[in-house]
Amino acid sequence: MPTKTYHNLPEKKRQKIEEAAIAEFAANPLQSASINSIVSKAGIAKGSFYQYFDNIEDLHGHILTIVRNKKLEVVNSLPLDSTNLDTFRYLKRVLQAAVEFQIRYPDLASIERFQRLSANHLSSVDPETGERMSGDGRFHAFLTQGILHDDIATWVDVDMAAFMLEIIESGIAPYLVERIGDKVPATASGKLFSVLDRPTQDLFDNLMDILEAGLARDPQIRKDFYSK
């Protein structure tokens, strides 16, 4: 954890340090990130660094909380078309957030990806329930709920499917953004969700259809297509 001294710093200075750290951690995994590079980018003395942080892991942990908060912010900034989302609309929302995050904060997304790679505890067993839990458990809960609501096929292995969704979530965002190309929406730093153009939306829907067809108890996809 950063020291009290760090939290007392004027906002401007703190931001400059965090910007430098984010740039460094986005370009290099923690293992090969350099303190010297960060302090020179941030315009502070090396000694100051050690007044703010124990070491580079300490700073990295601090940056990770920023990443998580920003991601949460993006998720919550998405428009809610209904207070009670059905299962697959909720999944779409989560994946949309991943794409949006990749567009708005590519550096933070890169840091997140490095972190996911180095964290090699792929899944763990919950000490309370004795249940397997992949990653942060979001998708696990999503699938369990989906089965209860008769939206997800009962034969689906929840933990494996959750793991699959997780790696799709983290892997597909950079791909979609690359395919969108330089047609990044001009919303800039606006608070609103980026308005993706038609072809991008179609591509995204295509992914959703594959996932829904694969997981749903009663997928609507092919019916729609074959009746057309």
Partner DNA sequence: GTACAATATGACCGGTCGGTCACACCATCT
Partner DNA sequence: AGATGGTGTGACCGACCGGTCATATTGTAC
- Using CB under 7 A, list all residues that contact DNA: 4-5, 8-9, 13, 33-37, 44-48, 50-51, 55-56
Say which entry of a second copy, DNA, none residue 160 contacts (CB below 5 to 8 A, set by partner kind): a second copy
CB 156 within 8 A of CB 219: no
Say which entry of a second copy, DNA, none residue 172 contacts (CB below 5 to 8 A, set by partner kind): a second copy
Say which entry of DNA, a second copy, none residue 35 contacts (CB below 5 to 8 A, set by partner kind): DNA
Say which entry of a second copy, DNA, none residue 46 contacts (CB below 5 to 8 A, set by partner kind): DNA
Chain residues binding a second copy by CB under 8 A are 28-29, 31-32, 113, 117, 120, 122-123, 132, 134, 153, 155-157, 159-161, 163-164, 167-168, 171-172, 174-176, 178-179, 203, 206-207, 209-215, 217, 219, 221-222, 225
CB 194 within 8 A of CB 103: yes
* Measured CA distances, 81 to 84, 91, 92, 118, 158 (Å): 9, 13, 12, 36, 27
CA dihedral 198, 200, 201, 202 (to 10 degrees): 90
Say which entry of DNA, a second copy, none residue 165 contacts (CB below 5 to 8 A, set by partner kind): none
3-state helix, strand, coil in the chain (%, to 5): 65, 5, 30
Tell the smallest beta-carbon distance from residue 218 to a second copy (Å): 8
Tell the smallest beta-carbon distance from residue 128 to DNA (Å): 36
The Cα–Cα gap between 162 and 168 comes to 10
- Structure tokens that stand for 226 in this block: 């074959």
Indicate the residue among 38 and 44 with the shorter CB distance to a second copy: 38
Indicate the residue among 44 and 176 with the shorter CB distance to DNA: 44
Tell the smallest beta-carbon distance from residue 111 to DNA (Å): 16
Query: DSSP letters along 197-213, please?
Result: -HHHHHHHHHHHHHHHH
Tell the smallest beta-carbon distance from residue 11 to a second copy (Å): 33
Tell the smallest beta-carbon distance from residue 134 to a second copy (Å): 8
The DSSP symbol for 31 reads G
Say which entry of DNA, a second copy, none residue 51 contacts (CB below 5 to 8 A, set by partner kind): DNA
Which of 57, 50, 96, 54 minimizes the C-alpha distance to 75?
96
Q: DSSP 3-state assignment of 2?
A: coil
Tell the smallest beta-carbon distance from residue 13 to DNA (Å): 7
